[in-house]
Structure 1
Amino acid sequence: MQASVELLQMISQVGYMACFGGDVQRSQTIMEGVNAIGVEQTPIKMGVAIAKIYAGHYDQAIHILRDDVLLKEVDHMSAKCFLGIALSQKGEKAEARELFEEVVRKGNKDESSIAAAYLNT
């Protein structure tokens, strides 16, 4: 199936809304479908990873962020920030801290703010 980038983004937004609204199962279903259609798109991979984090599937999120996003875009600060969050949730605080410190230094305002908040917890 061919889907436009715009359509995939819109469907991803529905997945985010489900995720942030507490409907983790529906979010996972939506994001997995989007991922199946838009397999090569970094924003899609990021959305799937974020939904995995919210669902508590940290190992899956870590795999997506490390093996899909960061292999292609080694300086993707949002990916590093969310990887830090997933690692932090798993108790891998030292590695998460390194990522958060890098994001604070190199990330945009939003990324840096999120990373700084995690550094202060």
Structure 2
Amino acid sequence: MQASVQLLQLMSEIGYMACFSGDASRSQTIMDGVSAIGVEQIPIKMGLAITKVYGGLYDQAINILRDDILVKEPEHMSAKCFLGIALIQKGQRAEARELLENVVQYGNKDESSIAAAYLNS
């Protein structure tokens, strides 16, 4: 199935809305579908990974972030940030700290703020 970029963006936004309103299950279903259609698009993979983090599926999020996104874009600061968050949740603080410190230094304002909050927690 081929979907337009606009449709994938709209569906991703709906997935985010579900995620941030506390409906992690519905969000993951939506984002899994978006990912299946837009399989090669980094923004789609990021959305899927973020919903996995918020849904507590840290191993799945780590796999997407580390093995899909960062392999293709090694300096993707949002991916490093959310990978750091997932690793903290898994108790892997040393690796998380290294990633989050890198994001604080090189990420944009939003990424740096999120990373700093997790470093200081």
TM category (shorter chain) comes to over 0.9
**d(CA) in 1 for partners of 2:46 and 2:56?**
15
Q: Residues 23-38 of structure 1: matches in 2 within 5 Å?
A: 23-38=23-38
Instruction: Please name the residue that 2:110 is paired with.
Output: 110
One-letter amino acid of the counterpart of residue 40, structure 1: E
**d(CA) in 2 for partners of 1:118 and 1:24?**
21
Instruction: Please name the residue that 2:44 is paired with.
Output: 44
Instruction: Please name the residue that 1:56 is paired with.
Output: 56
One-letter amino acid of the counterpart of residue 71, structure 1: V
Q: Residues 1-121 of structure 1: matches in 2 within 5 Å?
A: 1-121=1-121
Q: Return the offset for 1:6.
A: 1.2
**d(CA) in 1 for partners of 2:86 and 2:23?**
19
One-letter amino acid of the counterpart of residue 43, structure 2: P
Gaps of 5+ in 2: none
**d(CA) in 1 for partners of 2:5 and 2:40?**
11
Q: Return the offset for 1:95.
A: 0.5
**d(CA) in 2 for partners of 1:113 and 1:21?**
22
TM-score, structure 2 as length reference: 0.98
**d(CA) in 2 for partners of 1:75 and 1:63?**
16
Q: Return the offset for 1:91.
A: 0.7
Cα deviation per residue 1:15-55 (whole Å; 9 max; x = unaligned)? Answer: 01101111111111100000000000000000000000011
Name the count of aligned residue pairs: 121
One-letter amino acid of the counterpart of residue 40, structure 2: E
One-letter amino acid of the counterpart of residue 49, structure 2: A
Please list every run of at least 4 consecutive aligned residues from structure 1 whose deviation after the TM superposition is greater than 3 angstroms.
Answer: none
TM-score, structure 1 as length reference: 0.98
One-letter amino acid of the counterpart of residue 36, structure 2: A
| Percent of aligned positions that are identical | 76
Q: What secondary structure is seen at the aligned counterpart in 2 of 1:68?
A: helix
**d(CA) in 2 for partners of 1:24 and 1:115?**
22
Structure 1 window deviating more from structure 2 (71-80 vs 2-11): it is 2-11
